[in-house]
Amino acid sequence: MSIKEPSHDFSQLRSRVERRPKHPGLNIIGVSAGYHDSACCLLQDGVLVAAVQEERFSRVKNDKAFPRKAFRYCLEAGGISIADVDSIAYYEDPTQKLGRQLWMGMMPGLPAERRGSIFDRMVKTQPQQVIRRLFGYEGPIEIVDHHLSHAASAYYYSGFDDAAILTVDGVGDWPTTTYGWGKGIDVGRFEQVDFPDSLGFFYSAITGYLGFEVNEGEYKVMGLAPYGEPIYADQIRNLIEVTSEGQYRLNMKYFAFLTEDSMYTEELATLLGKPPREPESEMNQFHMDVAKSVQVVLEEVMLEKARYLHSKVPSENLCMAGGVALNVVANGRCLREGPFKRLFVQPAAGDAGTSLGAAAVAHVRITREAPVKEKMSHVYLGPANTSEDACQILQTSSAKFKDFRGKEDELIRYVVDRLIEGKVIGWSQGRMEFGPRSLGCRSILADPRRPEMRDRINALVKMREAFRPFAPAVLQSKAHEHFDIDHPSPFMLETCQVISPIDLSAITHIDGSARVQTVTRETNPRFAALLEEFDRRTGCPILLNTSFNVRGEPIVCTTVDAIMCFVRSQIDLLVVEDFVLDRAGIPPLWDLQAQQRFEKPGDGEAVGHLVYTLL
């Protein structure tokens, strides 16, 4: 389905929207659901006013359940009711997906139980029916195929008037990689690679082999890679045949995902000479070298395909989306060594971001106009916690806290004092971020100059692997003094070399790189003010910034989430809106409540860790 092929006759809807008062305007809700990382967004007259993943409410990591709570939030954020929704845009084509499921169900040698599972999923209620039942919606539902949703999510929010578009993920409906273009309001595709050949599956197979959770731990492989050498690159090249133009093929001898609940076969272990790593077991140099090798091969393929795309679409601009586009190291190499001068990666490049693309496509089909074309400058699109609510929660407990309402400058100075002392800060402010990165609204912050800070946060706060790097947040006006970067990077989506005269041990990876977030007062005034004060006091306009969560949980959303994470972790200080709570102020009963909350699962659907979600 192309951008010009709507599922409905929208003439009556256009007429109705034109006749009614400007507010609430044209309301389109985009939905991503049922695969992994479900999400909703709201476009009002082409302006993105709300977007959030369901996991932030359900507290189920990568929740794939239909996003009921996210949908409700979007209505509230837009000040509308279900009666005001003009169209719901769904992020994939159920018919195409059904075709892929049928093909998978007919695979020779497929175990009976797996075949039964596939056919059981096929006969379940289609998403259009689920939308009508769960949301009580009777209006038009616009179907947008998966990779068109990815492409649109990058192009329409890039600010470019024209661009080449590359989408790369595990699988959507049928395609796994697409090559296309955007010009004006139009988005097109001229070539694709189809399932089961997939760069996402290629990388995920090694992720599983290395003992990490598939479709979740790929960024761990990327973080582990700089510790290794690419001595297994030739072996890993056997997994994928890069053919002419945009095509490539997986060597299915090494992949088991079609017939088993595993990404790889025993042949992969034979090829690499060692058995798969058991999850949570010791990490050694072999695993680091395998990680480096698969990263190098991925970068080679991505760079070659980016050059091919430019030969067909010779724009100066490249847009990227899909889960593989979250590989910031590969992104950086494509920009540095490739033919494009500018790159825009959708900040929520995975499936959550397809809700944005589906909504944008529906807007174009209904209005015959592009959504608002300014470049996406921030992703602070989620729920906010009011100062009043935070105060009520703290006051009704026996917590001891400091109240800085109406005294922001004093709050900033107090927090900077604690950062200079070496404290780790939980920071919950304003509307939360959409996508996988914490960008100064739901963050854990620390002094990046302290060499012990990285190990301390990894071990005691985040409770995660010691090799994992942390990212720096830096004032945009001073970023060029400390990092080899000459353009804004507000979403932590590319790496660059650290060139700072300051020893930034806590945020510098072993290869001398960092994944930078640039910050301005225009997009996040309180976070910028914190960086400015830290710079004034220390001469360092940079803070260590990592997501406010513990291992295995989504980023915190509400004040209660922030408090529970603070209590369970070894964070020294919690700043939630205008209030500050240190560990000495924690009521004794909170420890018990936090543990009980941690042990109880949510009501969503978690994603399995052995194999990429294919159904």
Candidate CATH numbers 3.30.420.40, 3.90.1150.10, 3.90.870.20, 1.20.1250.20; the one for domain 382-599: 3.90.870.20
Average pLDDT for 97-108: 62
Average pLDDT for 266-292: 96
3-state secondary structure at position 392: helix
Q: Please tell me the predicted confidence (pLDDT) of residue 398.
A: 82
pLDDT digits (tens, 9 = 90+) for 219-252: 999 999 999 999 999 999 999 999 989 999 999 9
Location of each CATH 3.30.420.40 domain in the chain: 11-150+348-373, 199-345
Location of each CATH 3.90.870.20 domain in the chain: 382-599
Cα end-to-end distance, the chain, whole Å: 21
SS3 labels along 206-225: HHHHCCCCCCCCHHHHHHHH
Other beta carbons within 10 Å of 470: 22
**Res. 469 pLDDT band, cuts 50 70 90:** confident
Rounded to whole angstroms, the Cα distance separating 37 from 39 reads 6
pLDDT digits (tens, 9 = 90+) for 151-187: 999 999 999 999 999 999 998 889 999 999 999 999 9
Q: Please tell me the predicted confidence (pLDDT) of residue 2.
A: 54
Distance of CA 149 to the CA centre of its chain: 15
Alpha-carbon torsion (568, 570, 572, 575), positive or negative: negative
Task: Give the largest CA-CA distance in the chain.
Answer: 69
Q: Please tell me the predicted confidence (pLDDT) of residue 260.
A: 84
3-state secondary structure at position 10: coil
CATH of domain 199-345: 3.30.420.40
- Point out the least confidently predicted range of 39-48, 298-307, 395-404, 473-482: 395-404
CA distances from 174 to 147, 196, 330, 538, 613 (A): 9, 8, 24, 53, 14
Q: Please tell me the predicted confidence (pLDDT) of residue 464.
A: 77
Checking if the pLDDT of 1 tops 50, the result is: no
Q: Looking up tokens 């586009």, which residue turns up?
A: 325
Instruction: Based on DSSP, count helices (H) and strands (E) in the chain, helices before strands.
Output: 20, 24
Beta strands 380-384 and 431-433 are: antiparallel
Is the model more confident about 465 or about 568?
568
- Write out the two tokens for 259: 């017939």
pLDDT digits (tens, 9 = 90+) for 471-530: 999 999 999 999 999 999 999 998 999 999 999 999 999 999 999 999 999 999 999 999
**Beta bridge partner(s), residue 29:** 42, 88
3-state secondary structure at position 535: helix
Q: Please tell me the predicted confidence (pLDDT) of residue 104.
A: 61
Q: Which fold has domain 11-150+348-373?
A: Nucleotidyltransferase; domain 5 (3.30.420)
Q: Please tell me the predicted confidence (pLDDT) of residue 49.
A: 97
Those residues whose C-beta lies under 8 Å from the C-beta of residue 552, and which sit 6 or more positions away, are 61
Give the angle subtended at the CA of 239 by the CAs of 217 and 299, to the nearest 5°.
60
**Percentage of the chain exceeding pLDDT 90:** 77
